[in-house]
Amino acid sequence: MIRAQNIHKYFGALHVLRGINLDVQKGDVLVIIGPSGSGKSTLLRCINMLVPPDEGDVFIDGVKVTSPEIRPEWVREQVGMVFQSYNLFTHLTALQNVTLALRKVKRWDDERANRRGRELLAQVGLAAKEDAYPAQLSGGQQQRIAIARALATDPKAVLFDEPTSALDPEYIKEVLDAMTDLARAGMTMIVVSHEMGFAKGVASRVLFMDHGVVLEEGTPGEVFESPKEERTRSFIGKVLR
Amino acid sequence: MVASPRHPAGPSGPKRAWMHAHFELLNRIAGTLAVIGFIGVVVLALLGPRGLDFAYVGSHYGIVLGAMTVGVSVTSIAFLAGIVIGFLVGWIRSTAAASPKPLGRSPIPWLVRQGAARVCYGYVELMRGTPILVQLFFVWSVLTIHFFYIGGGPIAIYAVIIALTINTGAYQGEIFRGGLQAVHHGQIEAARALGLRYWQIMRYVTLPQALRLILPPLTNEYIGLLKASALGYTVGLQDTTYWGVFLTQRSLKVFEVFAMVTASYLLVTLPLAWAVKYMERRLRIPGLGIQEEHEAAVRRAVPTKDASLAAQGRSPPTSGRIRNAVVTSAGLRRVFIGDRVRHPARGNSRDPLETRPVPLRFHGTREEPDA
Amino acid sequence: MEASRSRRYASFAGRTLVRIGLAILGGFGFLLILQNEIQYNIFDAVFLSTFARLLFSGVMNTLFFMGIVIPTGIVIGFVTGWARVSKYKFLSYPATAYVDVIRGIPLIVLVLFAYFFGPFIVPGLFGFTDVGKFFAALALALHTGAYQAEIFRAGFQSVPKGQLEAAVAVGLTRGQAVGYVVMPQMFRLILPALANELASVAKDTSFLSIIGAMELFGNARSGTQIAIYNFGRLDWVFGLWTITALLYLLLTLALSKSLQHVERRYLVPGLGSVSA
């Protein structure tokens, strides 16, 4: 459903992505691991065209989204994103955060948008907090609202950029649980994360990236238990403690 | 409502791709042309039908430019005197703000300090709340009436210097206060716990960090003071502005004189402004002050060898841990100074709006340093 | 912590009274000191009655000029600030040039030469001085516009980039993202700096008197001439300047307070206020 072909990206002279190929089917949960600076976040952003790739193409459901003829806004309706620093709109309540896209992009009226917004907040377990502002909520709650927000436009897939890396340990579980629920419900997800437990439990495939290339790819069992590459082995050894 | 994936009508295919690929170059060309056009329009509007009298400029630029020395010297004297006042005021206000009521010992030194801080506060508010012209004329009146029959020139210079000193002392007080207070209290605590005495802490911990925050706005203040010195014209100071008015009224070649005066001031002001920008970039302590988000993003993409720097490159850092590393001037480069402080009363949010107000920098009396 | 409304007003009134009391005390102290130097008494009835109307009309004129300059300045500043952060260099380069030049020259130079230029640019309109004054006010607006452009620019840039990213990631166009997400947050952030700038405008109206406008500073200056030549009272000069200073102080304080009030209205629960 999501296919990336030969993606290259340069930041100035730095070759951040060197020929990445990706193929994600509907319902797949792809987890990408790797050291910082390997280009994982950049890759995610190339998929929803927040950062256009310098070379290569991305296809979503057969549509070549890297083509200049395709509206980037349409791409983002198809693919949602959850950020490491949540990036909730601080001046809006939780409900308003979730419904902003519905009201402004899809042009729904307030009643319809609010109904859907409340559904989504209930889905992540935060129905009671619909009128709270992000600053009044804990990190875990904010991130779950961010997930609800990403789901608002009924996307075909959701991208997660290290969603739990900025959280206090006590809040990591609630966010991972929300993500697990989403996966079990059949959502296509691409997750960049260091949470090995999550990857082992929920991922259908795991990718290991280093210095802009995919070094290893396989099922969680294959990559974690019997990695083929030396780099992979040492990275997992370090992260798994 | 089905949103279509394609753009609404517009240039498509190869032309768009070419424009896209060469965007940066086209952008720069368009920009340069726009500036030239903009300046051209302004010049033409001001100049009118007759041409630019280059001969006039050639013969008179000496006077105009030369008079800048008056302005610069007056400004520099007032600025230096202002540093002394400013440091004192800033220091009093910062220590008074940080010191709690002493419980056991005599409260008198504390009271004195608080009183002095209040007086300083009043002084600063007074200077910031009244126009420089009023301050200038006040001083000038005092001087004129005191030395009544001396009259004219010498009074003007003294009046300007004194008025400027008093004025800049207040603004510099704010700058010094901001810089001194920006050093995390936790570090001072840690230094005291190590056994350092007050002036040692000042010299090895506070000042090295504070100076980095103080220099850019201080330079801006100098620029502002230079511009304020132009007001000396109203009391008779024979600086560039004075000559500008004099020449204009005599020759009616408004644009030529204006161009000369502007050029003279810009000659001093622009390099200083560039110096400020350069300083702000070089002296920035990571984590203290404004964090440039896009710089952080680029740093994220760069693999770094040093683990601590790599951690620092990820924005935002893990929530609210205050790192009380004592940072001496030697260790400044290697140790990560201070993290964003989390206020327990305000919840766990790490929204950047919660932290220090954005230090915005501009020239002159319009300074709003971290307050 | 919902203190009852009346209690809050009472506490506010109490604190203000204390502040006013302290200010008066401070003023008295200052006057006492000055009295030793230049014997005068500010509460002279003749003194006050002579100059009251002069000063009052001065204040009115100052407010009038502020009413012209401030809105114009805000519009110029906003547009220029926007242009400065635009990715299109044909917008950002001229804006930057404008801001850097205006901030590099003294305001008095700008005002003076606007006054001189006026009649050349629009010859024959009204009288010489009126055109000049209009252009001088325009110069003030241009000057504050340049500074406000910096304020707006800093405002645009200090809204975390993640907000724009998230807004765009949800499907908003760039224009929508800026309008619904970036602007509201930016507005909150810039209020203190804007308050500072507006106070500066209030003070800079004094420059207009140099070219003949009858605002507070100019009137005070005429007042001192009257005091010296018509009455021969040198001590009245200081009284005059002191009162003028106090009037400007009141003006700037009123401005800051009202903007603080605006800031309170736009407070987002949970986020601290931006001005300490």
* pLDDT at site B104: 60
Query: Which residues is B255 bridged to in the sheet?
Result: none
Nearest by CB to residue A76, choosing from C160, C163, C170, is C170
Cβ pair A57, A231 in contact under 8 A: no
| Cβ–Cβ contact B106 with A under 8 A | no
- Tens-digit pLDDT profile for residues A68-126: 888 888 888 889 899 888 888 888 889 998 988 888 888 889 999 999 999 999 999 99
Tell me how close the Cα of A199 comes to any Cα of chain B, in angstroms.
22
Q: What is the pLDDT of residue B169?
A: 95
- pLDDT tier at B290 (50, 70, 90 boundaries)? very low
Q: Quick check: ipTM above 0.95? A: no
* Chain B: closest CA distance from residue C241 (Å): 6
Per-residue confidence band for B62, with pLDDT thresholds at 50, 70 and 90: confident
- Of residues B263, B247, B266, B265, the one with CA closest to residue B56: B247
Nearest by CB to residue B300, choosing from A41, A68, A70, is A41
Nearest to A97 by CA among A140, A50, A152: A152
Rounded to a whole number of angstroms, the CA Rg of chain A reads: 18
> Which residues make Cβ contacts (< 8 Å) with residue B172, sequence separation at least 6?
B82, B83, B85, B86, B87, B89, B90, B218, B221
Confidence of residue C41 (pLDDT cuts 50, 70, 90): low
Select from C165, B5, B303 the least CA-distant residue to A58.
B5
Q: Which helix (H) or strand (E) holds A9?
A: strand A2-11
> Per the CB < 8 Å rule, is B138 touching C238?
yes
Q: What is the mean pLDDT of residues B340-363?
A: 34
Cβ-Cβ contacts under 8 Å, C181 against chain A = 89, 91, 100
Q: Is B293 on the interface with A (CB under 8 A)?
A: no
Q: What is the C-alpha R_g of chain C?
A: 23
- Does residue B308 register a pLDDT over 60? no
The average confidence (pLDDT) of chain B is: 72
d(CA C225, CA C234): 10
CA distance C174 to chain A (A): 9
Q: What's the gap in Å between the CA of A45 and the closest CA on chain C?
A: 9
| Contact (CB<8Å) A104/C162 | no
Q: Please name which of C246, C245, C236 lies closest in space to residue C51, comparing C-alpha atoms.
A: C236
Indicate yes or no: CB of A134 within 8 angstroms of CB of B351: yes
Chains in contact with B, where contact requires at least 3 CB pairs less than 8 Å apart:
A, C
C151 contacts C194 by C-beta, under 8 angstroms: yes
Question: Could you tell me which residue, A131 or B324, shows the higher pLDDT?
Answer: A131
Per DSSP, the three-state class of A114 is: helix
| Three-class DSSP category at A170 | helix
Chain C interface includes A105 (CB < 8 A): yes
> Which of C115, C135, C196 is the best substitution to test chain B (most B C-beta atoms within 10 A)?
C196
Q: Specify the DSSP element, H or E, that contains B337.
A: none
Among candidate residues A74, A97, A192, the one with its CA nearest the CA of residue A146: A97
By Cβ distance, the residue of C224, C248, C276 closest to B129 is C248
* Helices B108-129 and C234-265, axial angle in degrees (round to 10): 100
Determine whether the interchain pair A73/C270 forms a contact, defined as Cβ–Cβ distance below 8 Å.
Answer: no
Smallest CA–CA distance, residue C185 to chain A, in Å, is 6
A43, A67, A174: best to mutate for the B interface, most B CBs within 10 A: A67
Q: Mean pLDDT over residues B290-319, rounded?
A: 35
Size of interface A-B (CB pairs under 8 A): 87
In 3-state terms, what secondary structure has residue A10?
strand
Q: Which of B141, B244, B293 sits opposite C109 (nearest CB)?
A: B244
Strand A2-11 vs strand A55-60: parallel, antiparallel, or unpaired?
antiparallel
Cis-peptide into B352, omega within 30 deg? no
**More confident position, C6 or C81:** C81
Nearest to C165 among A72, A87, A91 (CB): A87
Res C120: pLDDT: 74
The answer on pLDDT for C234 being more than 60 is: yes
Contacting residues of C for B261, CB less than 8 Å apart: 105, 109, 113
Of B136-150, B227-241, B303-317, least confident by mean pLDDT is: B303-317
Distance CA A236, CA A238 (A): 5
Mean pLDDT of A53-74: 86
Residue B13 has pLDDT above 50, yes or no: yes
Residue B191 reports pLDDT greater than 70: yes
Q: What is the DSSP letter of C227?
A: I
Give the neighbor-by-neighbor strand order of the sheet with A14-24: A14-24, A2-11, A55-60, A63-64
Using an 8 Å CB-CB cutoff, list chain C residues near A117: none
Its sign, for the CA torsion B312, A29, C173, A104, is: negative
Check pLDDT > 70 for residue A223.
yes
Across the range B305-309, mean pLDDT stands at 36
Flag if B315 and A38 touch (Cβ within 8 Å). no
* Any C CB within 8 A of A166 CB: no
Tell me if C272 and B346 make a contact (CB, 8 A cut-off): yes
CA distance B330 to chain C (A): 31
Residues 6+ apart with CB under 8 A from B11: B19
Q: Nearest C-alpha of chain A: how many angstroms from B330?
A: 29
Question: Which pair of structure tokens corresponds to residue B321?
Answer: 């841990």
pTM: 0.73
B152–chain A Cβ distance below 8 A for any pair: no
Instruction: Answer yes or no: do A68 and B302 touch at CB < 8 A.
Output: no
- Taking the Cβ of residue A88 and every Cβ of chain C, the question of whether any pair is shorter than 8 Å is answered with yes
Task: Report the percent of chain C where pLDDT is more than 90.
Answer: 29
Cβ of C170 and A105 within 8 Å? yes
Q: For residue range A10-33, what is the model confidence (pLDDT) as tens digits?
A: 887 888 899 889 899 999 999 998
Backbone φ and ψ of C260, nearest 5°: -60, -40
By CB atoms closer than 10 A (0-12, 13-18, 19+), residue C111 is buried
Please tell me which residue, A52 or A241, carries the higher pLDDT value: A52
- Identify which has the larger pLDDT, C250 or B348: C250
**Does residue C80 register a pLDDT over 90?**
yes
Q: How many helices (H) and strands (E) in chain A?
A: 9, 10
pLDDT number for residue C43: 59
pLDDT of B149: 52
B91: pLDDT strictly greater than 80: yes
What is the nearest CA distance from C93 to chain B, expressed in angstroms? 5
Give the nearest partner residue to B351 out of A39, A90, A165, using CB atoms: A90
Confidence tier at B321 by pLDDT (50, 70, 90): very low
Model pLDDT, residue A112 = 92
- Average pLDDT along chain A: 88
Min Cα separation A166/chain B (Å): 5
Q: Which residue has the higher pLDDT, B164 or A236?
A: B164
Residue A34 to residues A41, A83, B357, C8, C203: CA-CA distances in angstroms? 11, 17, 36, 56, 58
List the single range of A123-127, B24-28, C137-141 with lowest mean pLDDT.
B24-28
Is B230 within 8 Å of C109 when comparing Cβ atoms? yes
Tell me how far apart the alpha carbons of residues A173 and A182 are, in angstroms, rounded to a whole number: 14
Among C13-22, C36-45, C199-208, the range of highest mean pLDDT: C199-208
- B265 contacts in C (CB within 8 Å)? 104-106, 109
The pLDDT tens digits for B115-170 are 888 889 889 989 999 999 999 999 988 888 777 655 555 678 888 999 999 999 99
For chain C, the chains sharing at least 3 beta-carbon pairs closer than 8 angstroms are: A, B
